[in-house]
Chains A and B, each alone.
Chain A
């Protein structure tokens, strides 16, 4: 559906996008992940024809965005980072304008009504856009992208600046849209991409550093097979039992976290599922297992891993929990360009 080949964009001497290639299949929801200033918005602006690449090609359903812009743009609905809203118009006037601008052939009333219902702005239609809250402005922005029913929706940070309730609502809207559209979604919020997307592309410093499903990304980076275990009983006894289970590489006690129980980290040989063995062994010794958790790498860990390896220096000294708020001077500048 969307094909990107060797895309490079330079702002003066600064390389914003460095030789990125990927394809998006029809009906896919693709997450576009990267720290601030990584080149996400630039790439999306090139995809939609707002900017032109220094070199490389973009084709939308076979139409080159430079050679055949009108046809290519017909297939795209775009929500830029700042929703492109006219503050002096009401929601309905605005959507009517976009309808005319995109030269949509469908029945006007029905088409706009359906969109307003999907993004839940039916009651807002006669309000002036300037007076809407940020959450509603964002929805009008998404509505605008949906006008004309384009096959590809490109959404640049659709949930940024919204409150948690709005974020959940917008995400469910996007998931719903994903059933009938190809969606490209950029975000620097990892849970979001994890929750919505089938495939993730991570870019950093303008380079594509990873592309896979969220699960596969976790596996490819770590071959470790680790569990966290909570067992009621005496530490000594439990260790004795665990050490006799086949396939376990090592067991480490984490001490007491809950009264009457001990937590352990267990690492098993790769490709061996030791969970039933552990369960049976502990049950046989009458040591009740209170919890067992696999320690998958979260997308967050992957993200840090990948962006750090590829020369991403922004996160070196940053607490992992603060990752969304990192804005150094240098990456801020990149974002604004």
Chain B
């Protein structure tokens, strides 16, 4: 696992991908920080976090698109899968490498806290909880992107499909369908159930709970379990491919 982790991490900086991801993420995050906080002299980062989650939608596919699709296309997966290592270790090595780059990006934007301290008094613990939530959300997106990369040989398809799915998760809460208001009588329960479900899977709503500065178990569990699910599915895809 270590060997794969190291190689993958190095590959991010051998190819432009690592630089593209980090520079794009940090640039847009800084822009949001200026707009949400510096310009209006606001120390509460919740608006910033909400905007950054949208940036994730666009930059995380860049981070994950090549993880498995490139291996398959260049047939280097034959080396990995015939080496005496478990598929789980291969997947985890790659996942952790991408997660490390994500951490570097999120970590770099934590510089905003000391910047705010120069001019005001931000609530540091509240901000840290927000960053923690942001990172957990990123972990879920990375796992999802890795999974999409494992089912196709094409990096473009992997990136675009990841983007579409993350965007769906991101936007679904914003729809706020209010079906329960439309459906009355016998179907009221259905409206309520759909509303509840859409609200539950909405990434924005879960992320919002973090930006309030309270460390809740439910949203953390939501992101971590989804990340674990997609890591698991990636292992399954690769194990199953041999039987095709």
Interface set of A (CB-CB < 8 Å, partner B)? 11, 45, 48-52, 69-71, 73-74, 76, 78, 80, 82, 84-89, 93, 97-98, 100-103, 144
Residues of chain A with a CB closer than 8 A to B77's CB: 84
The interface-forming segment of B4-12, B119-127, B142-150, B173-181 is: B4-12
Are B14 and A89 in contact, with the CB atoms below 8 A? yes
Q: Give Cα A45 to B243, complex, Å.
A: 12
Q: Give Cα A102 to B90, complex, Å.
A: 12
Are A71 and B84 in contact, with the CB atoms below 8 A? yes
Within residues 26 to 62 of chain B, which ones have a CB less than 8 A from any CB in chain A?
Answer: none
Residues of chain A with a CB closer than 8 A to B79's CB: 84, 98, 101, 144
Are B75 and A84 in contact, with the CB atoms below 8 A? yes
Are B85 and A70 in contact, with the CB atoms below 8 A? yes
A-B contacts, 23 listed (Cβ < 8 Å): A48-B78, A50-B242, A51-B242, A52-B242, A71-B84, A73-B82, A74-B84, A78-B78, A78-B82, A80-B75, A80-B78, A84-B75, A84-B76, A84-B79, A84-B80, A86-B11, A86-B76, A88-B14, A97-B3, A97-B7, A98-B79, A101-B4, A101-B79
Decide yes or no: A73 and B2 within 8 Å by CB, A80-B78, A144-B79 being known contacts: no
Question: Which residue of chain A has its CB nearest to the CB of B85?
Answer: A101
Q: Is B186 an interface residue (CB 8 A)?
A: no
Question: Which residue of chain B has its CB nearest to the CB of A81?
Answer: B75
Residues of chain B with a CB closer than 8 A to A11's CB: 244
Question: Which residue of chain B has its CB nearest to the CB of A154?
Answer: B82
Decide yes or no: A84 and B78 within 8 Å by CB, A70-B84, A70-B85 being known contacts: yes
Are A49 and B82 in contact, with the CB atoms below 8 A? yes
Shortest A130–chain B CB gap in Å is 11
10 tightest CB-CB pairs across the interface, nearest first? Answer: A100-B3, A84-B79, A73-B84, A52-B242, A88-B14, A48-B82, A84-B76, A101-B3, A74-B84, A80-B78
Residues of chain A with a CB closer than 8 A to B10's CB: 89, 93
Shortest B112–chain A CB gap in Å is 33
Question: Which residue of chain A has its CB nearest to the CB of B77?
Answer: A84
Are A86 and B7 in contact, with the CB atoms below 8 A? yes
Are A87 and B6 in contact, with the CB atoms below 8 A? no
Question: Which residue of chain A has its CB nearest to the CB of B2?
Answer: A100
Shortest A10–chain B CB gap in Å is 10
- 20 new A-B contacts, CB < 8 A, other than A87-B74, A93-B10, are A11-B244, A45-B78, A48-B78, A49-B81, A50-B78, A50-B81, A51-B242, A69-B84, A70-B85, A73-B84, A80-B75, A84-B76, A85-B76, A89-B7, A98-B79, A101-B79, A101-B83, A102-B83, A103-B85, A144-B79
Residues of chain B with a CB closer than 8 A to A70's CB: 84-86
Residues of chain B with a CB closer than 8 A to A97's CB: 3, 6-7
Q: Give Cα A87 to B75, complex, Å.
A: 12
Shortest B218–chain A CB gap in Å is 38
Question: Which residue of chain B has its CB nearest to the CB of A93?
Answer: B10
Q: Which of A74, A78, A80, A88 contacts B11 (CB 8 A)?
A: A88
Residues of chain B with a CB closer than 8 A to A48's CB: 78, 82
Are B14 and A82 in contact, with the CB atoms below 8 A? no
